[in-house]
Amino acid sequence: MIRFLIVFYYLWPITMSFDLNLTTTCDHQVFRELQVLGSDRRIIRTDFPIASANTVKVYATDNLISSSFYDLVNDPNPSPASTGSKIISFKDKWKALTDYFEISYLTLKNYCTKCVGSGFLDDISYNVRGDLPVLRDEFLLMQNVEKFTITKITSNPFQSFIGTSLESLIGTKVTNPQFLITQITSEIVRALRKLQDLQSQYKQTGRPVTNGELLQSIDSVTVTQNAVDPTEYDANVVVTAVSGKTVEFTQVLKIRA
């Protein structure tokens, strides 16, 4: 099961038989975060909690500083603006007044701004050989189901009929949760039926497709209000490919901040 916060992007052209793999595991890395040296010229605070001391790299005006020059210690004076539990503390006062500082480190999943706490990225990635990984069969179907569900309808000028209007629900006041659940369910089902119809048209052109990538049936779309956070709705989508194999993922829609 895949769980992710809702993200909207332009839909890629519909690709049968294979497509680039967009969903990858997030490393939660913060790269070269610009920070200011404290007034005591010894302390640097990061914007987010540091997950591991071994991942920290400190740069002064593009020059990597040896870890022997500083310690990673608990913040003695945490403030509301500082979410980090650790700070970088230089053993001696930094003497150069013109240096600027950048910090690279791994943060905790819940504070990661790249994946928004989901643990996954919907972006192009490369494998160890520098190749673009592709998806086929049921994995391709799962990605197409995801695309059709989270794409904002009308956002693609060439395929304006593809997607859902779920984005319009973000920030709205929830007065009738059951009506909202019905609306979300209807939007997802409509988008997936459009995917099924387009796949059927594509197959009729005679181009090669596999049974794994073709949507046979929409088994269930179950939308529930999160018991812990009532502003969050979880949509569990289950579909079956023509091959007979089941594809399932969970989409999270946060209605209000």
Fold of 3-26+128-254: Nuclear Transport Factor 2; Chain: A, (3.10.450)
List the chain domain ranges.
3-26+128-254, 29-111
pLDDT tens digits along 45-58 = 998 888 888 889 99
The residue-averaged pLDDT of 243-248 equals 90
CA distance 214 to 248: 14
> What are the residues facing 60 on neighbouring strands?
63, 101
pLDDT tens digits along 150-184 = 788 888 777 788 888 887 777 677 778 888 899 89
- Model's pTM, two decimal places? 0.54
Assess contact for 234 and 159: CB atoms under 8 A: no
Q: Quickly list DSSP for 145-211.
A: HHHHHHSBTT-STTSTTSSBSGGGGTT---S-HHHHHHHHHHHHHHHHHHHHHHHHHHHHTT----T
Residue 134: count other Cβ atoms within 10 Å of its Cβ: 13
Lookup: tokens for 152 = 């904002």
